[in-house]
Amino acid sequence: MKIGIMSDTHLDKHPEKIVEYIDKYFNDVDLIIHAGDYTNCKVIELIKSRKKFIGVWGNVDKRPVRSVLNEKEIINVEGKKIGIFHGHGDKKTTPERAIEIFKDDNADIIIFGHSHQPSIFTKNKTLLLNPGSLSRKRKEPWFSYIILTIDKNSISAEMKFFTKI
């Protein structure tokens, strides 16, 4: 299964831009995972209208988004348990908070966002994925997302960077 992973899109004023991103970068994925901070429910509706979707809410998402998504999700793909959480909270680093929330779930992969800092690394035999941001790179030099491919015998996680759509 090929999965497109995004987070921190913050498309409050122009939710329709998510369609451009999907058409350009996620056209051939089977599933889109969004790790929160949409800031507009329309983004969720537009993703769902184009692709199979799973997502969680982020710290800046208000009631409309929180009413349709959970704070934490766990899914199984090809025998791998994937935890999804935005990464917000107090104390600890963003990755530490993501690891902590799944400490009793035996996740093989944890997807998180919040920091807008793209990263792929492992900790305690768990693959951790932060796609950065498609549209709000902050101090990062590039916008980013991840393509995750999982089959019965392998996992591939590839960070993708771009400067503009």
If phi > 0 it is left, if psi is from -120 to 50 it is alpha, else beta; for residue 125 that is left
What share of the chain has pLDDT > 70, as a percent? 100
> What is the per-residue pLDDT across 102-158, written as a single tens digit (0 to 9) for each?
999 999 999 999 999 999 999 999 999 999 999 989 889 999 999 999 998 999 999
Please provide the DSSP assignment of 34-53 as one string: E-S---SHHHHHHHHHHS-E
Q: Rounded to whole angstroms, what are the CA distances from 145 to 9, 20, 91, 93? A: 10, 14, 26, 20
CATH number at residue 35: 3.60.21.10
Domain count, the chain: 1
**Cα gap 55→32, rounded to integer Å:** 8
> What is the per-residue pLDDT across 26-61, written as a single tens digit (0 to 9) for each?
999 999 999 999 999 999 999 999 999 999 999 999
Quote the domain boundaries for residue 45: 2-162
